[in-house]
Amino acid sequence: MTCLIVAGGSNGDLCQFDTGQFGVLESAFPYGGEEIYAVIEVGGKQYKVAPKQTIEVERLDVAEGDTVELDKVLFIGGDGDTLVGNPIIKGAKVVATSLGEAKGEKVIVFRYKSKVRYRRKKGHRQTYTKIRVNEIIKG
């Protein structure tokens, strides 16, 4: 469910959800987390993470239960001071724990050429690694 913030207040932000309904967003991190957050790069994609948050990233070669340190931190903010990397913040890292691997939804690849009876159907499921962010260390 996506939220478009309409107005901010002390009790929370007034949101208009993608269903058209209005509601109050209790936290800036609807999936868990604290006030500090970071933008990290993993597998060519960028993620906004906060401590105690669980995310799915591209497959990492890490066993379940192991600790992983993500050192490509692009931005740290949310607790009063802001750190912006150029392109990364030196010495900053995000410490996370691997929760294992999972497969994503199936994507159907269908090739088709008109008038020549050429049709090929193939499926693909991407492998992801679930990680829980433990802490964000500033550089």
Q: 80: Cβ–Cβ under 8 A, 6 or more apart, which residues?
A: none
Same-domain check for residues 24 and 53: no
Sign of torsion over alpha carbons 29, 33, 39, 44 = negative
CB 12 within 8 A of CB 25: yes
Same-domain check for residues 76 and 128: yes
* DSSP 3-state of 26: coil
78 vs 18: CA distance, rounded Å: 26
The boundaries of the domain holding residue 14 are 1-30
Query: pTM of whole model > 0.85?
Result: no
Same-domain check for residues 19 and 46: no
> Counting beta carbons within 10 angstroms of the beta carbon of residue 50, is it exposed (0 to 12), middle (13 to 18) or buried (19 or more)?
buried
Q: How many domains does the chain have?
A: 2
- Write the pLDDT tens digit of every residue in 74-113: 999 987 788 899 999 999 999 999 999 999 999 999 999 9
Same-domain check for residues 14 and 71: no
Q: What is the pLDDT of residue 10?
A: 45
Q: What is the pLDDT of residue 8?
A: 47
Same-domain check for residues 41 and 18: no
Same-domain check for residues 91 and 26: no
Same-domain check for residues 25 and 45: no
